[in-house]
Structure formats: structure tokens, C-alpha cells
Amino acid sequence: MSGETFETLLAPNLQAIRRLVKSRLRTGDQTDDIVQQTLLHAFASRDQLRVESKFRSWLWSIALNEIRAFFRATRPCVSLNQLPNFQIVDQTASPHAACEQSERGERLRASMARLTMRDRTAIRLVDLNGLSTADAAHSLAIPEAAFKSILFRARQRLGQTLRRTTALPAPRRQPKGQTGNVYQLDSTRSTTLARIAA
């Protein structure tokens, strides 16, 4: 292909190539440089084009390759040698931990199944669904004080059931003068229940 033929074919496609490059870049600063590189490569390899009717698609493919090359060259990267203390830590649970988690979940579900419907509902509303005692009491249409009593006893019964089937520690009693729950399952009852029941 002669230079004159190249110019003839390029003229109606030049603005389309410029729009293509500009639309793919986030800023217009590099548009002219990439268009220029596209035209240089197209002109240098013009003899590879066999069918002139495919000039437009051929030119577009060169422009897209130049855009990809630009993004590859400007992609930020940091050498691992600059991070001597960098360690890749596997965040996934080990198979052993996953198995223990599954067993804890099964024990919890089995223990929950042994409770009465009232006890299960109280624990689910607060410890699994995250409702406050006031909201849970309101949803059951009972006074908050009555719900707190139900929840307290339900947790006690769940703890007793779990201790019969597992090696959980004995209930921890709080010193005199302190208020709060007498029994705490693994010291963080809500988090533990939600985690092992999931």
C-alpha cells in the first residue's frame, strides 16, 4: 500500500479513531500521544493489510492495542523487594478449624432443639437476630422485664444443655454487687451464638 493510499483511507477515519481513544482514557491528556502512536504503527505496517475495505477495523484494532499498552505501562506497581517484611497470610480457616466450627454449630442446633419454643424464640430474637430486649419484648407483646427474665432462664437452660453434650466450662458467677447475666456462654454469648449458628 502506498503512502498516498494510506492517507486517502485514513482521512475519513481519523476523527473516529480520536473519539475512540478519548472515550477509553479517563483523561484527555494522553489522547494525542496514543493517536500518534496508532498512526505510526499503522503506517509502518500498512503492507500487512491485504484488503483495503477492512482498513477501518484494522486501524481500530491497532488503536485498541495502543490503549492497552498505555494502561499496562502506567499501571502502578511495587516491587516485593521494597517490602522486606511483607508476608502473605492465608485468611481462610484451616480444615480443622472449619470442622470444629461445623461441630459447634451442630451441637448448638441440637441444644436449641431441646429448648421450649419460648426459650428458642427469646434467644433467637436477641442473640441471633440482634434485637434489643425492648424490641424483642415489643415484638412478643410482653413487658420488657418479663422478657428479660425469660431470656435469662433460656440462656441458663441452653448453657446447661450444651455442658451436658460438650466440655464447656462451668458457669461463671459474678462478684456480689455486680449486675448482669449469671451465665455467659464462652464470655461473649451473642457473638458466639451468632458465629456458631451461622
Q: Find the mean pLDDT for residues 166-195.
A: 49
Residues in Cβ contact with 114 at an 8 Å cutoff, skipping those fewer than 6 apart: 161
Please check whether the two domains, 3-74 and 96-197, share a CATH topology: no
pLDDT band at 148 (very low <50, low <70, confident <90, very high): very high
pLDDT tens, position by position, 93-143: 788 888 888 888 888 888 888 999 999 999 989 988 888 999 899 888 999
Following DSSP, what letter does each residue of 1-61 receive, concatenated?
--HHHHHHHHGGGHHHHHHHHHHHSSSSTTHHHHHHHHHHHHHHTGGG---GGGHHHHHHH
Residue 146 scores a pLDDT above 90: yes
| CATH entry, 3-74, from 1.10.1740.10, 1.10.3720.10, 2.60.120.620, 3.40.640.10 | 1.10.1740.10
Q: What pLDDT was estimated at residue 41?
A: 85
Q: Find the mean pLDDT for residues 165-187.
A: 50
Q: Which three cell numbers stand for residue 171?
A: 458457669
For the chain, give the percent of residues with pLDDT over 70: 76
Mean residue pLDDT of the chain comes to: 78
Domain regions of the chain by residue span? 3-74, 96-197
Angular region, 143: left φ>0, alpha ψ -120 to 50, beta rest: beta
Q: What pLDDT was estimated at residue 172?
A: 54
pLDDT tens, position by position, 39-68: 888 888 888 877 878 888 888 888 888 888
What count of other Cβ atoms lies within 10 Å of the Cβ of residue 127? 21
Is the domain spanning 96-197 CATH 3.40.50.300? The answer is no
Q: Find the mean pLDDT for residues 140-147.
A: 92
Residues in the chain, overall count: 198
